Amino acid sequence: MPTETNGERTWAIVLAGGDGTRLAELTEALHGRPVPKQFATIAGDRSMLQATLDRVARIVPARRTVIVVGRAHLAWARAQLAEYEGTTLVQPASRGTATAILFALTWIRLHDRKAHVLVFPSDHHVGDVPRFVDAVRTAGRTSCELGRLAVLGVAPELSDPDYGWIIAGPPVAPACCSLECFVEKPGAETARRLHARGGLWNTFILAAPAEQVAELARRHLPDHARRFDTLDRFSFAPGAPDLDELYAAIEPADFSKHVLEPACDLLVVPMHGTGWSDWGTPDRVLASLEGTPAGPLLRARLDAAVRRMQAPTRRRAGPRPAGPERGLQTRLVR
């Protein structure tokens, strides 16, 4: 049975609507066809989305879990979520993480005005799930007690400029600090300085009262907040035109850059020893699985994929010319 963070008020939002273009070459090699990374099976026998839902189920029950997918990915979502009891919301188009969060948040607040939400991306790897669950519960409890948004942060392995960075301030509760500085995907030199200052990587796993997330949106993305505030339960009915019209008119927005970075009075909960990795690139995937049983299995699958692409076809005799396959071998098979 899952241990719940805030009783019957806690809801989970799982973001699964992205295109994952930076991992497309890897997922296509593994599956033999283009597959959005959240629906790809990279380690084990569960897709990244299914593995995320397995972790979330330890914290929040399926009946209060909302998954946001894209209309373009509906076939994959239906196949992988056919027996899942949670709620799946379908975005008409991809408009960034802020829009996806507000989409799910609007649906949740129509059902529970006093909800507390946990937000999970669906493209993460976690090596030690029990430690991960403990850290999320800590963030959820502290966020609920203090009425503030908490971000989970992890100690960086290197000064990677492709992550969002956090500088933690003074402690405000056990295992929780104020958030002094938030920088989304800085340049290489800034990332080196943040690393030297003891900065943390932003996991984009969030915990907050739903009303506070809505208030932050009203403050930093007022047009988005206003548009979603006009929706009611009928707007989510199949065939209702409201969502299509909203998504056609709204600008893309990133929650980290447009809401978290300019916000004040946030919290950070450091997360240790979980083996967390944001699987945004093939290098991160291979590095995070190094030394685990899944690592050799993934490399074997990639070796087999490269051999398939290099094999001569029946229609054409002779050696295959150098092309994308060679690049794939160089990038993916170390």
The predicted structure's pLDDT at residue 270: 93
Same domain? For 306 and 248 the reply is no
- The domain tally of the chain equals 2
Same domain? For 281 and 305 the reply is no
Same domain? For 229 and 302 the reply is no
Q: Which residue has the higher pLDDT, 81 or 313?
A: 81
Same domain? For 272 and 299 the reply is no
| Domain membership flag for residue 2 | no
Residue 3 has pLDDT above 60, yes or no: no
Same domain? For 324 and 197 the reply is no
| Domain membership flag for residue 226 | yes
Same domain? For 33 and 114 the reply is yes
Please report which confidence band the pLDDT of residue 7 belongs to, taking 50, 70 and 90 as the band edges: low
Dihedral of the alpha carbons of 41, 43, 48, 54, in degrees to the nearest 10:
120
Same domain? For 251 and 301 the reply is no
Residue 334 has pLDDT above 70, yes or no: no
Instruction: Give the structural domain span for 106.
Output: 7-289
Percent of the chain whose predicted confidence (pLDDT) is above 70? 91
Q: What is the pLDDT of residues 250-264, one digit of tens each?
A: 999 999 999 998 998
User: Residues 312, 321: contact at Cβ < 8 Å?
Assistant: no
Residue 101 has pLDDT above 80, yes or no: yes
CA-CA distance, 87 to 61, in Å (whole number)?
A: 11
| Domain membership flag for residue 192 | yes
Please report which confidence band the pLDDT of residue 314 belongs to, taking 50, 70 and 90 as the band edges: low
Q: How many residues does the chain have?
A: 334
Same domain? For 306 and 202 the reply is no
Q: What is the pLDDT of residues 56-92, one digit of tens each?
A: 999 999 999 999 999 999 999 999 999 898 899 999 9
From 110, 111, 171, 112, select the one nearest 146 (Cα to Cα).
171
User: H-type helices in the chain, by residue range?
Assistant: 24-31, 48-56, 74-81, 96-111, 129-146, 188-196, 210-220, 222-229, 242-249, 255, 282-289, 294-310, 324-332
CA-CA distance, 63 to 296, in Å (whole number)?
A: 37
Residue 194 has pLDDT above 80, yes or no: yes
Mean pLDDT of the chain: 87
User: Residues 330, 54: contact at Cβ < 8 Å?
Assistant: no
| Domain membership flag for residue 1 | no
Residue 231 has pLDDT above 80, yes or no: yes
| Domain membership flag for residue 167 | yes
Please report which confidence band the pLDDT of residue 313 belongs to, taking 50, 70 and 90 as the band edges: low
Same domain? For 157 and 306 the reply is no
Model confidence, pTM: 0.88
User: Residues 80, 50: contact at Cβ < 8 Å?
Assistant: yes
**Which three-class secondary structure state does DSSP give residue 90?**
strand
Find the range with the poorest average confidence among 92-106, 137-151, 193-207, 319-333: 319-333
Dihedral of the alpha carbons of 84, 90, 96, 98, in degrees to the nearest 10:
-80
Distance of CA 80 to the CA centre of its chain: 17
Residue 315 has pLDDT above 70, yes or no: no
From 57, 258, 284, select the one nearest 154 (Cα to Cα).
284
Residue 46 has pLDDT above 90, yes or no: yes
Same domain? For 224 and 206 the reply is yes
